[in-house]
Amino acid sequence: MLVAANKPLTTWVNVHLFKSAAVCVVVAICGCDQGQPAPPVAPDPTPEPASVATNVEDMELPESAESIGMEFKLIPAGTFIMGDARVDKDWTPHEVILTTSFKMGVHEVTQAQYEQVMGVNPSEFKGADNPVEKVSWDDAVEFCRRLSDLPAEKSAGHVYRLPTEAEWEYACRAGTTTKYSFGDDESDLGDHAWFLENFLENSGTNTHPVGRKGPNAWGLYGMHGNVLEWCQDWYGDYPSGSVTDPSGATSGSYRVLRGGGWHDTAGFCRSAYRRRFLPSIRNYYFGFRVCLSPSGK
């Protein structure tokens, strides 16, 4: 009787110990949202080998970005407060003035789009409409270069590039000053992002198709989750005063990543949260979205 009575308790304990262990492993990999977490800088200890892009001359390239389903929203010029000392004391809130409007990708670049331009799909979690991942900053820049070189894009004077860090946060905030683009309540994050809580609720330890969660007020999807997004800038200290059209540090060792990922706790998904990694590093939570500018901008 004693043994039989203890069986449910043993099962319950084992299940919860397993869940606790799983959470600890994920948190150990991803970090935790206690106090003021430092931005991760160490690369994956076992970075994936490169998936070599196919030579352009050996490919049948798409006609244009539009022909492969890429969508953009016009982001107006404006002024906002960048940074949040509540997240990290060194992320000094400061005024940023963006003098020129720009177009931002509605979604992260998908695997289907990446493969049509680069000839390879390096992603760990395969799915045509999932965001491409396991791409380095260098890979993302090469994608932008190839997209810009398509004949239809050249004739239209279109130049594709990564967003600056300031453009990314401005577009993510979409006119808000709260922790997230939808407000301060973390309990609403699941309506807008794929992040760690989704994983713990058995939605999968992986990425998900773009556009399945709610957009921000400017019509951009996935800014708080799914994969981290490379930005154009070198990582550097924030200025203490107002700046106009900033493009980050003039040099450095690390490039900026923004946005939350499928593996992140809620605190890492905030609009102001920033990270830094070597530009050559690939990982299964590194992706990107692109901006569209007129030629020469």
Residues 135, 14 share a domain = no
Distances from the Cα of 76 to the Cαs of 7, 99, 113, 150, 156, in angstroms? 62, 9, 26, 26, 21
Per-residue pLDDT of the chain (297 residues; tens, 9 = 90+): 333 433 333 333 333 333 334 433 333 334 333 333 444 443 443 455 556 566 655 667 787 899 899 999 999 999 999 998 877 777 889 999 999 999 999 999 999 999 999 999 999 999 999 999 999 999 999 999 999 999 999 999 999 999 999 999 999 999 999 999 999 999 999 999 999 987 766 556 789 999 999 999 999 999 999 999 999 999 999 998 999 999 999 999 999 999 999 999 999 999 999 999 999 999 999 999 999 986 555
Let me know: does 122 contact 282? Beta carbons within 8 Å. yes
Residues 120, 14 share a domain = no
Is 100 domain-assigned?
Answer: yes
Is 146 domain-assigned?
Answer: yes
Residues 96, 14 share a domain = no
Is 89 domain-assigned?
Answer: yes
Is 35 domain-assigned?
Answer: no
Residues 11, 71 share a domain = no
CA angle 168, 174, 176 (to 5 degrees): 115
Let me know: does 94 contact 240? Beta carbons within 8 Å. yes
3-state secondary structure of 232: strand
Residues 211, 110 share a domain = yes
- Please give the residue range of the domain that contains residue 25: 1-30
Residues 95, 15 share a domain = no
Q: The pTM is what?
A: 0.82
Residues 90, 203 share a domain = yes
Residues 131, 63 share a domain = yes
Strand partners, 230: 257
Number of domains in the chain: 2
